[in-house]
Amino acid sequence: MAAEGLAPIRFVTSRIEDAERLVALRIEAMRDSLTRLGRFDPQRARDRFLDGFKPETCELVLSGERIVGFVVVKPGDQGLLLDHLYIAPSHQGLGIGAVVLQRVFERADAEGLRVTVGALRGSNANRFYARHGFVQTHEAEWDIYYRRDISKNLKYVRDSRMANTLDQDSHQDGGDTSGMTDDQNAQDDAPTRFSRQPIRSFVLRQGRMSDAQKRYMDELLPRYAIPYQEAVLDTAATFGRKAPVVLEIGCGMGDTTVKIASIRPETDFIGIEVHGPGVGNLCKLIDEHKLTNLRVMQHDATEVVRDMLAPDSLAGIHVYFPDPWPKKRHHKRRILQPAFVAQLASRLAPGGYLHCATDWEEYAQFMLETLSAEPLLQNTAADYAEKPDYRPLTKFEARGLRLGHGVWDLVFKRV
């Protein structure tokens, strides 16, 4: 196996004399994530690792003769426990993390076992595992836990794209997970039926859907979905009434969308989400709450706005916690680009609002600059706005705020 721009990746069982070198690698890999949480303690990190270190369960990740990471997989109560996966900071962004996961998945599938893993809250590892097919199972104070179920194919896809996957190298406590080379856009997994854009703001790497999620998709999506079409949507016909319409871009699992629609029955909502599990869950929530003012679209938001929404037709637009694409070379993938913001503004009726929120400070600054530069929009605050009452506080956001993490809301109005 190889990762982009490296000598072939090899795996070698560790020895007891490797312990100190691995401790140093682990501490360096964890530094940024733990520092953000105010919990960086090198001695504690060293002691915890050495207390449980068993050379026979640890594999060194080598590029040529150089140790660039290590992985520890142990038998667990639910199958295999991915106990540690660390990539040296100097070798992040090169596809090594994906190669390691490929090896773990091949072992798990060959033995017919699940894989479980924990990731430090707030670290990029959470997105990495989710996009590689892991499903969140539960949370603790500092960690979030995931499970990857047994593959139906009993074989993880051996594809050169896997070695160059979008979230190329993560590790348990905060790796770099946003890596995509500039020429990889055409190789990601976003189906063309959801987008024909050459540069997309999303990556569709959904992993395994549960039987329940599939059932929601099969039974409820036809009932609550608006199909994409290259024609302006008649919202009055869609909802059976003439009412203000609010668009939400990126609904996630749909909880926030449903809460807002529930407390604003006089307004109709269109939620856009491309990821299957989220779409399925949103359909389930619509059905459970018997909402008649919420519909879902599974398509690229840029194409929906361009092709299906008439100018001056929306009362509001919500864009909550979009992917920040933190690496500079990936900023072009951020959804709130000037051209798209101009298009959003044109779809708002005069007096309509655009409400964005992010927990990534640099992206908040980017949003503020981009929205402020749009002549059809006017900021309702000096810079960032207070969180409006209608936007629910999520449990993750509440916990982050208690830990001192920031969340920035921006509310602009169409002039």
Residue 1 confidence (pLDDT): 53
Query: In this structure, are residues 371 and 410 in contact, taking their beta carbons and an 8 Å threshold?
Result: yes
Dihedral sign from CA coordinates of 271, 361, 178, 153: negative
What DSSP state is assigned to residue 385?
Answer: B
312 is catalytic: no
Alpha-carbon span 119 to 96, nearest angstrom: 18
Residue 165 confidence (pLDDT): 35
Q: Which is the catalytic residue, given 182, 323, 383, 409?
A: 323
The model carries a pTM of 0.54
The residue assigned the tokens 């298009």 is 343
Q: What is the pLDDT along the chain (415 residues), one digit of tens a residue?
A: 545 456 788 999 999 999 999 999 988 888 887 777 677 788 888 888 888 888 999 999 998 889 999 999 988 767 899 999 999 988 887 889 889 998 999 888 888 889 999 988 878 888 888 888 899 999 888 889 999 987 644 433 333 333 333 333 333 333 333 333 333 333 344 444 454 444 444 444 444 556 766 777 778 888 999 999 989 999 999 999 999 999 999 998 899 999 999 999 999 999 999 888 888 889 999 999 999 999 999 999 999 999 999 999 999 999 999 988 888 888 888 999 999 999 999 999 999 999 999 988 999 999 999 999 999 999 999 999 999 999 998 776 877 788 788 999 999 999 9
Best CA proximity match to 157, nearest among 124, 133, 183, 182: 133
Q: Which domains does the chain have, with CATH numbers?
A: 9-187 (3.40.630.30), 211-414 (3.40.50.150)
Best CA proximity match to 162, nearest among 4, 330, 332, 329: 4
Angle between helices 276-289 and 255-263 (to 10 degrees): 30
CA–CA distance from 325 to each of 129, 176, 330, 354 (Å)? 16, 11, 6, 21
Residue 210 confidence (pLDDT): 65
- Tallying the residues shown for the chain, one arrives at 415
Query: In this structure, are residues 343 and 305 in contact, taking their beta carbons and an 8 Å threshold?
Result: yes
Query: In this structure, are residues 102 and 73 in contact, taking their beta carbons and an 8 Å threshold?
Result: no
